[in-house]
Amino acid sequence: MDSASVLKFFQEITCIPRESGHEEKIGRYLQDFAAQRKLGCKTDKTGNVLIVKEASAGKEKVPTLVLQAHQDMVCEKNAGFDFDFNTQPIPYVVEDGWMIAKDTTLGADDGIGIAACLALLDSPLPMGRLECLFTISEETGMDGAFGLEPGFFEGKTLINLDSEDEGQLFVGCAGGKESYARYAFSREPLRKGYKILKIRIFGGIGGHSGDDINKERMNALKQLVRFLYTELQYDYQLISIEGGNKHNAICREAYALIAVPEDEVQDMIEDVKAFNQLLQAEFATSDPQVQASAEAATSTLQPIEEGDAAAIIATLLAIPHGVQAMSMDIPGLVQTSTNMAAVHTLEKELTVLCSHRSSVVSELSAIAEKLEAVCFLGGFDVEHRGDYPGWKPNLQSHVLEVSRKSYVKLFGHEPEVKAIHAGLECGLFLEKFPDLDMISFGPTLRGVHAPGEKLELASLDKFVAHLNDVVLNFE
């Protein structure tokens, strides 16, 4: 296996639709790959695919290795970019040593993990028995990991290929849960002489709500409601708030439709301009392209009743977002965080999606309860779901020691051994297969879960060499 073979398979994968919950085509691609090479293959009722390559001659006594990646990807694109993830291949370029999708997500999370598995399965080099596990819907709830049944794979050692920093070996991750808040409201007539404006916050970098939550990236929804709250001095009417999509992505773009007295429209526009300057100053380092704008708009919806609108704006402003606690045991590790991910306005209801992460079970419950309390004060109803467990580090892991020694041999220095704040499926695997010895590593990715996602090709070379060495020399 080499980087060229991994890239070849990844380029094929970029042409296959695989949004979370719609993995049928990538599943068939994996099944066809196995059939063409006469490899063992089975698919469970959940949609997880397992491809098995039996041990090479002389390698029959090597313990089975399970390599694992997830089939799905986060499908995000820039507003106004004409693209359909269901029918079009992902557009990417190679610039300055990076493979980049400028206006969409690239899907290297976790397409590059799939590609590495396929390149190994396709390799003629001698190796022990491989079981390559491809799970579904990791990005939206880890449905595949939840749906795994005992005995689906046999190996006792698993390498997860869903990490995003080359040179780091991950041995633990955070657990998480999602919260859904709803507010039922009434609408009232548009007042005479009022004009509708669209207030936009856009140009944010966004990113992964686990890996990037400590980078102080702008959350467009939080900044939008911040502006709306300061403007309550005006007698405006709120019509709708929209922003965000995926629970595991930091919101990059959001907008509100408001109705403003005609003689105050220009004052509101001037305030937006001032807020634009404020945002550009505050986020000059983390989000240098952030902007706020106001423009005339129309709407078929009537405004939200004044009292309901005030409750919505105040509650959204008060909902916590960002890092809540840092680990006292592992320097630099985010211990607990929360992400206000999406807000959508329906005819008579406003919905809010938040996701929480923590490596401490009690803190995960506490941050969900804090959100619930804020929403209770604002008159929102809340439900929690989508819980998944964390992965407790095992520093005595055999596969960790094998991988560490391999890295030192290849590159002449120690890798970092870390836990990650993002959620990995490893915690669920450990619940179902308690004897598993696990590790996670991968090449360097940046901007995952947001347009502009990119893969560093030099790191891919090192990742491939490392994985190849671990697999071919595992004992």
Same-domain check for residues 397 and 290:
no
Q: Please tell me the distance from the alpha carbon of residue 238 to that of residue 231, in angstroms, as a whole number.
A: 11
- CATH no. for residue 303? 3.30.70.360
Which pLDDT does position 27 carry in this prediction? 97
7: enclosing H helix or E strand? helix 3-13
Tokens of 42: 């089975």
Q: Please tell me the distance from the alpha carbon of residue 388 to that of residue 355, in angstroms, as a whole number.
A: 12
Work out the average pLDDT over 302-315.
97
The residues facing 133 across adjacent strands are 50, 68
454-456: strand order across its sheet: 93-95, 98-100, 454-456, 445-446
Which pLDDT does position 401 carry in this prediction? 97
Which pLDDT does position 330 carry in this prediction? 79
Q: Please tell me the distance from the alpha carbon of residue 48 to that of residue 37, in angstroms, as a whole number.
A: 19
Q: Where are the alpha helices (DSSP H) in 353-456?
A: 361-378, 398-411, 426-432
* Active-site residue flag, 401: no
pLDDT at 392 over 90: no
Which parts of 118-205 are beta strand (E)? 130-135, 157-160, 168-173, 175-184, 194-202
Same-domain check for residues 313 and 436:
no
Catalytic residue among 23, 72, 164, 212: 72
Using CB atoms within 10 Å of the CB of residue 251, give its burial: 0 to 12 exposed, 13 to 18 middle, 19+ buried.
Answer: buried
Same-domain check for residues 111 and 165:
yes
Identify the domain containing residue 433 by its residue range.
Answer: 3-174+390-472
pLDDT band at 233 (very low <50, low <70, confident <90, very high): confident
Same-domain check for residues 377 and 436:
no
Contact 256, 224 (CB under 8 A): yes
Same-domain check for residues 254 and 371:
yes
Same-domain check for residues 181 and 308:
yes
Which pLDDT does position 196 carry in this prediction? 97
Alpha-carbon dihedral angle through residues 386, 432, 438, 5, given to the nearest 10 degrees: -80
Same-domain check for residues 360 and 244:
yes
Of 373, 388, 403, the position where a domain reaches its end is 388
**Pairing, β 175-184 against β 454-456:** unpaired
Q: Across the chain, what does the average pLDDT equal?
A: 95
2-29: pLDDT as tens digits: 999 999 999 999 999 999 999 999 999 9
Work out the average pLDDT over 49-60.
96
Which pLDDT does position 419 carry in this prediction? 87
Which pLDDT does position 431 carry in this prediction? 86
Of 388, 421, 440, the position where a domain reaches its end is 388
* Active-site residue flag, 138: yes
Residues 6+ apart with CB under 8 A from 426: 158, 160, 173, 391, 438, 440
Work out the average pLDDT over 222-242.
95
Same-domain check for residues 154 and 267:
no
68-120: pLDDT as tens digits: 999 999 999 998 899 999 999 999 999 999 999 999 999 999 999 999 999 99
Tokens of 273: 């301009």
Work out the average pLDDT over 24-42.
97
- CATH no. for residue 58? 3.40.630.10
Catalytic residue among 23, 110, 131, 138: 138
Same-domain check for residues 117 and 139:
yes
Same-domain check for residues 360 and 225:
yes
Work out the average pLDDT over 267-284.
97
pLDDT at 329 over 90: no
Instruction: Count the alpha carbons within 13 Å of 382 in the hemisphere toward its beta carbon.
Output: 22
Of 388, 420, 440, the position where a domain reaches its end is 388
Same-domain check for residues 283 and 429:
no
pLDDT band at 393 (very low <50, low <70, confident <90, very high): confident
Same-domain check for residues 165 and 198:
no
Q: What's the total number of domains in the chain?
A: 2
Work out the average pLDDT over 444-455.
93
